[in-house]
Amino acid sequence: MITCRGLAYRYKAGPLIAFADMTLPQGGVLMVSGPSGCGKSTWLALVAALMQPAAGQIEVAGQALAGLSAAAADAWRARNIGFLPQRLHLSAALSVQRNLALAQWAASQPEDLAAISRALESLGVADLAQRKPAELSGGQAQRVALARAVLMQPKLILADEPTASLDDEAAAAAVALMHQTALALGATLVIASHDVRVAALLIPRLASPARLQTMQLPRLAAMNKAA
């Protein structure tokens, strides 16, 4: 569940970026799109409580994020947000298993190898646990990164450009995988993408086309890229 009211953010010495009001129910699917430099990553950072809004209200997974202390935001993010970055960012120094353990370390939780196995199992990559990221194919790496994102059983999965640089077949597989995983967890799924294929791939998976919420962010001509 995501609710935004009058949300705005201001970079140092920059213009105020205002975002449209929106509500996404728990378990819903949202596609955020728009040209680059439209404040997409700013919106994602606000939703993940990485930044504090300059104005407005934002509530994610039952938590009001405006005014949350940095420590509370970190702890909240560890438990509630599963993040799938565009470049996956698996740590090359660590095995697949340890990469997942990193999420538990970041959440200040004791290492739980059984939970790691379950997460890898659910994405069909349990047998890769001892490999290094360099020894994985692109598809395998994405599955591992998704396993890391869902390890803490988050209420919200944020995917940043998950299909960029993937061919049609791989893009279809990636979207299907994300949707299945979110569905299995009952998690809300937010995909930030300017890839038109994503909407086309998502709509047939939903009960009706109207179930796919979209948020089109307008280009901000004066947006300061000093971020």
Q: For binding to another protein (CB under 8 A), which residues are involved?
A: 36, 41, 44-45, 48, 50-51, 70-71, 74-79, 81, 83, 85-87, 89, 91-94, 98, 101-108, 111, 148, 152, 160, 227
Q: CA dist 57 to 9, 52, 112, 156, Å?
A: 11, 10, 36, 18
User: Residue 100 Cβ, how far from another protein at the closest point, in Å?
Assistant: 10
Work out how close the CB of 204 gets to another protein at its nearest, in angstroms, rounded to a whole number. Answer: 29
Residue among 46, 10, 2, 6 at smallest CA distance from 26: 2
List the structure tokens of 217. 């962010």
**Min. distance of Cβ 208 from another protein in angstroms?**
31
Interhelix angle 138-150/113-122, nearest 10 degrees: 130
In terms of CB distance, is 9 or 179 closer to another protein?
9
59, 3 Cβ separation under 8 angstroms: yes
For another protein, the closer CB: 79 or 205? 79
Q: Which residues are CB-neighbours of 224 under 8 A, at least 6 positions away? A: 11, 13, 14, 15
Phi, psi (rounded to 5 degrees) for 27: 85, -5
- CA distance to 32, 33, 212, per residue, from 160 (Å): 9, 10, 17
Nearest approach, Cβ of residue 65 and another protein (Å): 14
Cβ nearer to another protein, comparing 90 with 171 = 90
Return the number of the residue (41 or 180) whose C-beta is nearest another protein: 41
Least gap, CB of 139 to another protein (angstroms): 20
HSE-up of 40 (CA within 13 Å, CB side)? Answer: 24
Least gap, CB of 203 to another protein (angstroms): 26
Nearer to another protein, 10 or 205 (CB): 10
- Report the residue number, 51 or 220, with the smaller CB distance to another protein: 51
Residue nearer to another protein on the CB measure, 104 or 163: 104
In the complex, what is the shortest distance from the CB of residue 106 to another protein, in angstroms, rounded to a whole number? 4
| Separation between Cα atoms, residue 198 and residue 34, nearest integer Å | 13
d(CA 226, CA 213): 30
